[in-house]
Amino acid sequence: MHRHSALRPYTPPEPLPGIFRSGFERTWEQRGLFLTTMHPRVIGDRSRIFILEEPIDPIRSRRGV
């Protein structure tokens, strides 16, 4: 997104679960805190809930999570 323009590129939601899983994996390796912030107007839509559901099971399967 160009900060000084009203133009915003379209980003399809399908790659996001993988991006979240990758972020978690790197954070896990570094023994850090994985934190993801999402705006409710964006993620609150029913068609986008899979973005959160898909990475949750692999993340929760980690011991200590």
Task: State the residue for tokens 């692999």.
Answer: 58
CA 23/CA 35 separation, integer angstroms: 9
Q: pLDDT, tens digit, for every residue of 47-58?
A: 778 888 888 888
pLDDT value at 44 more than 80: no
Rounded to an integer, the average pLDDT of 1-20 is 74
Per the CB < 8 A criterion, the answer to whether 36 and 20 are in contact is: yes
Kindly give the interhelix angle for 16-29 and 50-60, rounded to the nearest 10 degrees: 30
Residue 33 DSSP label: -
pLDDT band of 25, cuts 50, 70, 90: very high
From first CA to last CA, the distance across the chain in angstroms is 33
